[in-house]
Structure 1
């Protein structure tokens, strides 16, 4: 993260909280208060002297600074917004008043409600008649997405006075997306998708789209996930329309956020297995709110009828790691890293991989033999190196998402510090981005249409939705002839950079 100089003490600080100064301010006030107990005083004082950020600064608060004090329902300690014991009881009291018609879905919802630590973890059964303005807006490999407005809105907290749930209600209804699975999808796989999505959202709220609940199409009887509506759509659509208006800070932020989200998913021992821009959604791309969707459903859908032990491959061909295509390895965390490398290429260039050729067995063979998209020569070399390491055919040479997040976080804050405060002028990433921008500016001087959507032709057999890919006898994965030499030269060119200040030599 970039460093700043405190205007009060002239020492390095984070731009928000100067620990030396604030420790001094707290200490100067120690004689002006006491809890009446030496141990409590010491606990508070130690917290204040050692606080690295404002939320670590515990205070002694005189009781007369509170108002409207009253005992709430259960008289247990709570967070001031969501009382888990009380709310679990409210949910449980209502269990007999609804059913999805399926015991497993009922149990999923009930378990979520009983264990919810905050309102966003309280998944609901939502009758279909509570939606209006329902219309299909998208179709994937295994289902459709519908837009709708939810009349009730999601639960905020329990209204003690009126003894009912207080909801976030919009006059026109809450905008939601209804994810409907095709009839051929096995129910257990649908349930698995719901459980994984719920787990990833609850473990880290910023990782995936908010999961409001479950409903059922009254005509087809298909169960549907009710999700927060991502009004900016998916990353592929956004890049095609807006790429020429996306600056390098947003590109770095997008890559940093994606690596952070995948890092959190992998910490749960979940492998996405179908990671591509169509599964990256956002409420607002400009404000860096990227979310990941479609967790692992395609992993479980298909089994090869001729060989039950061999799973068929499902996904979007250009984003599938060569060792998965060839059958050499099961889908691993490293395969998600490969997909990230292709997505990083697309984020930097704006172009999807291999748009002008059929996505068929011939392409799969070429990928196994080392074919990769061509990275433009003016791309910052640090970013080129990240992309190449991610799509290395040697699985053990790929970085982890922890490593990627550390590296991209550093690049983002170095460049942001340069833009905001003209700091970090000697940072390697700043130097390289400036060169890339100079090249782009020279190109734009002869092109007056740079703010228009990207224009490229897509081959009719270039397919960017998930599907069954049942190829056989693909070659053992390898890199192209000069790949490893080029990657080694990139690594050597940055070997002088201090590992603590810039990138690690992984």
Structure 2
């Protein structure tokens, strides 16, 4: 794979997404025209086009599930109707349910909360999960926050990322989201304290917005709003 110019890919994605498709009658038509915009973009390499298309498909799935709109398909694995193109929500939920017996926090209330959140999640890379403490390395005290102590650590396994159609399971990734989000919970075996596992950013959201507000296009602003709501 050639070197991917992330800034060029995101610029192309934003142009395709914000293009004015006046003659489009529905979500599916808009998505198809956005894909065509990427395919005809001569400034992108083949790999960059594939990445931009993948980003468009992820966004397309997100909107379809949230709005319950768009063309449905029959999943080849479970034969159920589903809206998403990159995964099947039924297969993801069944996979997670089958895995419930393979983990526990030691607290039934927390187990039930995580399980309910997983079943209601509409995107494979937006799942919360139980994270065994021994999956964290170099746990180091950072500072004291408004209501708790904050530590940094390296998560050796990584989050659920996407659905693998060939293996019918969720794959893991060490990629991090652009917005701070909760990946799950863990428990310090020494203190017995439960801990939220979130992504460490270089700055807080308020500082980021002050420094970059004029540079953000509306699509990026909406993504930030969606990610923090």
Normalising by structure 2, we get a TM-score of 0.59
Please give the secondary structure, in 2, of the residue aligned with 1:17: coil
CA deviations 1:377-400 (Å, max 9, x no partner) are xxxxxxxxxxxxxxxxxxxxxxxx
Corresponding pairs, count: 169
Cα deviation for residue 55 of structure 1 reads 3.5
Please give the secondary structure, in 1, of the residue aligned with 2:170: strand
Q: Which runs of 5+ in 1 are unaligned?
A: 1-14, 24-45, 59-69, 175-204, 265-289, 293-506
Equivalent in the alignment of 2:25: 47
Equivalent in the alignment of 1:226: 197
Cα deviation for residue 155 of structure 1 reads 0.8
Quick check: 1:83 aligned with 2:119?
no
Within-5 A mapping of 1:320-359: none
Quick check: 1:16 aligned with 2:19?
yes
Counterparts of 1:229 and 1:219, CA distance in 2: 23
Within-5 A mapping of 1:231-246: 231-233=202-204, 235=206, 246=211
Equivalent in the alignment of 2:136: 131
1:121 to 117, 126, 132: 126
Please give the secondary structure, in 1, of the residue aligned with 2:116: helix
Cα deviation for residue 103 of structure 1 reads 1.2
8 Å contact kept, 2:185–2:196: yes
Please give the secondary structure, in 2, of the residue aligned with 1:47: coil
Higher relative strand content: 2
Counterparts of 2:199 and 2:212, CA distance in 1: 27
Counterparts of 2:163 and 2:123, CA distance in 1: 11
Counterparts of 1:18 and 1:121, CA distance in 2: 29
For the aligned residue pairs, the C-alpha RMSD in angstroms reads 4.0
CA deviations 1:216-245 (Å, max 9, x no partner) are 111111111111221224646x79xxx8xx
CA deviations 1:385-420 (Å, max 9, x no partner) are xxxxxxxxxxxxxxxxxxxxxxxxxxxxxxxxxxxx
Counterparts of 2:109 and 2:212, CA distance in 1: 47
Counterparts of 2:85 and 2:21, CA distance in 1: 29
Cα deviation for residue 16 of structure 1 reads 3.1
Q: Which runs of 5+ in 2 are unaligned?
A: 1-17, 35-73
Describe the shift of the 1:57–1:165 C-alpha distance in structure 2 as closer, same or farther (beyond 3 A): closer
Equivalent in the alignment of 2:76: 72
Within-5 A mapping of 1:53-64: 54-55=30-31
Quick check: 1:249 aligned with 2:227?
no
Counterparts of 1:215 and 1:152, CA distance in 2: 13
Runs of 4+ in structure 1 over 3 Å off: 53-58, 160-164, 233-236
